[in-house]
Amino acid sequence: MKGKIGALDHVRLVALVLILLCHYFMFSDLSDGVSRYFSGTGNMLFFLVSAVLYGLKYPVDSQKMDYRRFVVKRITRIGASLWLFLIILVTLYLVFGIRFSWLDVGLNVVFLGYLGELPGNEHLWFLTVLMACYVEIMVLNKLKARSRWIPWVFLMVSVFLVFFGEWMGIPSGAFLTLGLYGFVFLRSDSFLQKSKTMKLWMAAVITVFNAVCFVLEFRGLFEQSRSLHFVLTGLCGISLLSLLLRILPDKSNKVTSFLCGISFEIYLVHHTLCAGPFVRITQWPCGHLVNFIIIVTVSVGLAFLLKWIVSRFYLEYS
């Protein structure tokens, strides 16, 4: 299995770079529209890499999933670093007199950051949706969703809910994430095989499609229609995943493995360096490129330290 999915390590790094670029663009004087493209595409890549991995590991028509073990491992994997990060973050809030809500802290502790934002760390909504994706694949596995039509129906319903949610005035972007996650989970083996044998003309179509969506986001697509933004950047994410699986090498290297090993921790710590009360740490009057390099360097260093502390307290996870 590892030989089949080696390219996913490289895809995860591409997603990480897009997320870092997204938040740097969003909280600087650069284009907010460009950040929206990076955000939608980068986040979707993160989700879909997970969907491919679990789809290959727990195919609904063969291997039985140990649901209890799956839940315990996911909570341990995510919670170990998240809870330590929150302890450090709240300590810094208290030391520097930064106002926050204990209710929001509690919501984030139980992976409900979607409902409670912490200063400079609004990105923790990601964990709420990720947990929902885990519940989703357990349900799909339990139902033995073998029919080839189920992924397509699932995807179409999620797209409908995105537009319906905007019409009702409620947040609805997560519906598309769940739809695409379920789609790739159910078709992971086929998706991987077709990506590896992608024709040149299809690669060109994907490239042009992503370029068009980039331009639309630059011109303010999000402000014109949030639902269309979610759908297009979601399709950018899944199409870019397929393209990257085709062109990136299957064999990982030490640098890639190291960065992938702390990618979740980088995701945790980087946002507060781009925005919020501690942004001055990485913002210097030396140009955007240097500031971005500082953010990346500090994020990698803090992420490594965070994971090292977790491992020292015997909370190491696989």
263-274 pLDDT per residue, tens: 999 999 999 888
Average pLDDT, the chain: 88
User: How far apart are the C-alpha atoms of 82 and 268, rounded to whole Å?
Assistant: 7
pLDDT of residue 29: 72
The confidence score (pLDDT) of residue 318 equals 41
Residues 277-308 have pLDDT tens digits of 777 666 666 778 888 898 899 999 999 999 99
pLDDT of 64 reads: 77
Q: What is the mean pLDDT of residues 27-45?
A: 86
Do 298 and 272 form a contact (C-beta atoms < 8 A)? no
Token reading at 47: 């989700």
Q: Could you please report the per-residue DSSP string of the chain?
A: -TTTSTHHHHHHHHHHHHHHHHHHHHTSSS-HHHHHHHHHHHHHHHHHHHHHHHHHHS-TTSSPP-HHHHHHHHHHHHHHHHHHHHHHHHHHHHHTT----HHHHHHHHTT-TTT-PPTT-GGGHHHHHHHHHHHHHHHHHHHT---TTHHHHHHHHHHHHHHHHHHHTS--HHHHHHHHHHHHHHTHHHHHHHHHT--HHHHHHHHHHHHHHHHHHHTTHHHH-HHHHHHHHHHHHHHHHHHHHHHS-SS--HHHHHHHHTHHHHHHHHHHHHSSTTGGGT--SS-HHHHHHHHHHHHHHHHHHHHHHHHHTT----
User: For 40-60, what is the mean pLDDT?
Assistant: 92
φ, ψ for residue 150 (rounded to 5)?
A: -60, -45
- pLDDT of amino acid 251: 82
Q: Closest by alpha carbon to 218, among 39, 34, 41?
A: 34
Per residue in 179-225, pLDDT (tens digit) is 999 999 999 988 999 998 999 999 999 999 999 999 999 988 888 89
pLDDT for 134: 96
pLDDT band (50, 70, 90) for residue 7: confident
pLDDT in tens, 232-255: 999 999 999 999 999 988 887 888
Assign 230 a pLDDT band (cuts: 50, 70, 90): very high
In sign, the C-alpha dihedral spanning 12, 35, 235, 215 is negative
pLDDT at 284: 65
Check pLDDT > 70 for residue 63. no
**% of the chain with per-residue pLDDT over 70:** 94
Rounded CA separation 99/287 (Å)? 30
Instruction: Please tell me the number of Cα atoms within 13 Å of 133 on its side-chain side.
Output: 31
70 pLDDT higher than 80: yes
Per-residue pLDDT of 21-31, as tens digits, reads 998 888 777 77
125-143 mean pLDDT: 93
Kindly state the tokens that stand for 114: 């979607």
**Average of pLDDT values for 48-68?**
86
